[in-house]
Amino acid sequence: MKIHSLDVYIVDLPTIRPHHLAMHTIVTQTIVIACMKSEDDLEGWGEVATIGGASYSEESPEAIKCNIEKYIKPLIIGKNPINFDALTHMIGIHVKGNYFAKALVESAMVDLVAKTRNIPSYELFGGQCHTSLPVAWTLASGDTEKDIEEAQHCLETKRHNIFKLKIGKGNPKKNVAHVIKIKEAVGEAGSVRVDINQAWDEVTSLYCIEALENGGVDLIEQPLVRWDNEGMSKLSSRFKVPIMADESLGTIQEAYQIAKHGAADVFALKVPKAGGLTATKKVAAIAEASGIPMYGGTMIESSLGTAICAQLYSTIPEITFGTELFGPLLFKDNVTANQIEYGNFEIKIPQGPGFGMEIDKEKIKHYSRDM
């Protein structure tokens, strides 16, 4: 089998409500999708998502598409995708950085290979440890009473019992008070966590994390700027509440440095930031070897990208802090004919050949744009 073609699409999907982060507010989420075809016309599909163009990562959707088409695609046309690990390594030699682009191409290769063998993609990564995983939901109205009402509805319907609040934007003390009120209302029925998206300095973090810890919050995600491992190490050693690395954690080299210097208590895994599925498994291995618990993160992917992440996370024995794979629930529409299933506070791991998702090509055509 050889790779015959590779097409890349930029797709803009509307969301059901604004999703606030420190660096951007999402009302339309951009995903990048790849379709890889073999010589016998079998298709493998991949996806990565970005946030706010280039506001979250150095790679914009436009750059991902352009760099794949100009620099990566010529390297792999005519090659056998069954050797996806070797091809990913070869791409890394010729193309520096561009981890989202590499992850997109690798995921399409993995889907294609798994489909040729008529197996789920997770069988290519050691097999399944979980058939479902806990999944968090982000409370984002900004109104305390509305967020409490939404959290209680999620608990009653058994949709979510893990709640995250994005508090990197606005007055830190007011945001902390907002979170603590929600935790008081939720009580022991749910886990309440916060994500600062790098927005605090060390002084702000000292005051706010102490208040959040005393208020019963379970996890603090990336309070400091991504390069400040020294500051993250100070916070991790000072507080009992776990500090999680997200933006500071991508490549296997970054994972090693964070583990070595104690710059986080928890690793947020994200397939695009690591550079692909294979690299993410290596990051997970570093965490396991270092005694660092893991969390299955999201870039707010659609149903396809969520299935990619879910299948990989299902091969990791210990995902202690659950996952954040709520992406499909945030979109008004999706790019697959079948949908991700949620229930009993968990996401169900998709089954079937490849990533287990049937692509709706008309939806991709409808929502895609040139650049």
- Show which residues are catalytic: 166
CB-hemisphere CA count at 13 Å for 27? 0
d(CA 137, CA 167): 14
Per the CB < 8 A criterion, the answer to whether 19 and 81 are in contact is no
d(CA 329, CA 157): 14
d(CA 59, CA 250): 13
Q: Which helix (H) or strand (E) holds 222?
A: none
- Burial label, 163 (beta-carbon count in 10 A; 0-12, 13-18, 19+): buried
Chain centre distance of CA 321: 14
d(CA 12, CA 10): 7
Token output for 271? 């397939």
* Helices 172-186 and 202-214, packing angle to 10 deg: 20
Q: Quick count: other Cβ atoms within 10 Å of Cβ 188?
A: 7
What are the phi and psi torsion angles at 88 (to 5°)? Answer: -60, -40
Cα angle value 347/98/200 (rounded, 5°): 65
